[in-house]
Amino acid sequence: MATAIGFLILSLSYLSLSHGLVKPRRISHGLSESGKYLTRDELWFNQTLDHFSPYDHRRFRQRYYEYLDHLRVPDGPIFLMICGEGPCNGIPNDYISVLAKKFEAGVVSLEHRYYGKSSPFNSLATENLKYLSSKQALSDLAAFRGYYQESLNVKFNRTGKVDDNPWFFFGASYSGALSAWFRLKFPHLTCGSLASSAVVRAVYEFPEFDQQIGESAGPECKAALQETNKLVELALKVNNKALKALFNATELDVDGDFLYFVADAQVMAFQYGNPDKLCVPMVEAKKNGGDLVEAYAKYVREYCFGVFGLSAKTYSRKHLLDTAITPESSDRLWWFQVCTEVAYFQVAPANDSIRSHQVNTEYHLDLCKSLFGKGVYPEVDATNLYYGGDRIAGTKIIFTNGSQDPWRHASKQTSSPDLPSYIVKCHNCGHGSDLRGCPQSPLIIEGDSKNCSSPDAVNKVRQHIVEHIDLWLSECRGVLRSSI
């Protein structure tokens, strides 16, 4: 979802890196029936609760998945797909599955602490969230990587001093940032990382987000959305309940929350590769003198609710204050990370804004205080000091962004040999389009690029990704062998 940010097909020749001592074999589990997941079989790992205390030895159960159908046993690569700010219900069958087949890799995926079924506590009260942070999550990944490598050695009867399998990390959106940060902080544990739509720069006030929506919409659609916003603000004053009922959002008692919801709904069209679902009816309504608010509400009801699965409840303070663990707890959890580490406050720009000016810094700070109490504040400067923001100084990290995605302005968009960065340019290329194809949601099997307005643009970036992975896995193998 947009509030949570959240949130690869060209083939190159690949030379097998097998030692040649063991005949390659594979382990087969088969695809899940729906085809949308490579596997949904849950596995569990006992994770350390606090990686930074020498005195706290508490542990919790963390969910993970493995898919080894394509793995060249015993020494093929391991691709780790990082789960981000939501439940991890399996390994999705996106473009990473294509890469796994190409590189004869196994795929594992670890659920982020606190999300889904990986909660350390029975309550999400603020005092229990102190261990929810990107730093702890990165250490989770490092600990899991060590555990899983050892389990592979046992599974394949490898004893004595043996090489690790070469690992490569993947993530999109917040998990894309985790992928980049993992390579930065633990370069000895992964051969490289793909950071798709990776929001590596924490941003206190983020007006560029709204500005990108206007740019992606184009002049006609932007004008229609701006006029709609003014009419919505007026209707809130004149007939508050009737307006919220039109949007199926009567539970949003706080007008600021409703206006945030209205702004977020338009974001989804551009972020997830369906701009025409919004702009075509809005431009048509404006040209024909139609009811813009009704046209927009219809888009929200039919697309955001009906197709995407959005709910106004997501924006309800009553819901966000709920400390019980439910399938929808990720809403509260992500706001905690927003309110403590990264902010990304999507404020209205001073001029030419599409969203309401009531969605400002004060609105966000008040929300944080309402949800988590006094003293909770996003330490944006500390986050960027620790990771480097968009000046991250790591190596062997691929950054990719969709041209229409507003989140790209929190990513790294400048390229260098050690940190290549690519913009996937097309009309419906949004959040994670290199991995997910078009539209980016709902899931497209294997991230097929055929429905992107320019499949060639997506495929060209994917070709670069394959080249980098191929090179970095080869270099990693060389380092591993020379260390014996």
Is-contact 458 393, C-beta < 8 A?
A: no
Residues 6+ apart with CB under 8 A from 466: 8, 10, 11, 12, 99, 102
Rounded CA-CA distance 97/162 in Å is 27
Q: What is the DSSP letter of 301?
A: I
Is-contact 176 195, C-beta < 8 A?
A: yes
Task: Compute the radius of gyration of the chain from its Cα atoms.
Answer: 23
Q: Which residues pair with 345 in a beta bridge?
A: 205
Q: Is the dihedral of CA 138, 141, 147, 152 positive or negative?
A: negative
The one catalytic residue among 109, 133, 139, 173:
173
Is 405 designated active site? yes
How far apart, in Å, are the Cα atoms of 56 and each of 36, 52, 129, 135, 323?
A: 39, 9, 16, 16, 24
The one catalytic residue among 405, 409, 421, 441:
405
How far apart, in Å, are the Cα atoms of 352 and each of 12, 153, 235?
A: 46, 59, 21
Strand bridging mode 59-67 / 37-39: unpaired
User: Which amino acid, one-letter code, is at 35?
Assistant: G
Give backbone dihedrals phi and psi of 194, rounded to 5 degrees, phi first: -105, 125
Neighbours of 19 (CB within 10 A): 11
Is-contact 54 98, C-beta < 8 A?
A: no
Q: Which residues pair with 81 in a beta bridge?
A: 109, 170
The one catalytic residue among 112, 431, 433, 449:
431
Look up residue 426 and give its two tokens.
């097309």
SS3 call for 264? helix
Look up residue 403 and give its two tokens.
């041209």
Is-contact 7 84, C-beta < 8 A?
A: yes
Is-contact 403 429, C-beta < 8 A?
A: yes
Is 456 designated active site? no
Is 173 designated active site? yes
Neighbours of 44 (CB within 10 A): 12
What residues are labeled active site?
Answer: 173, 405, 431
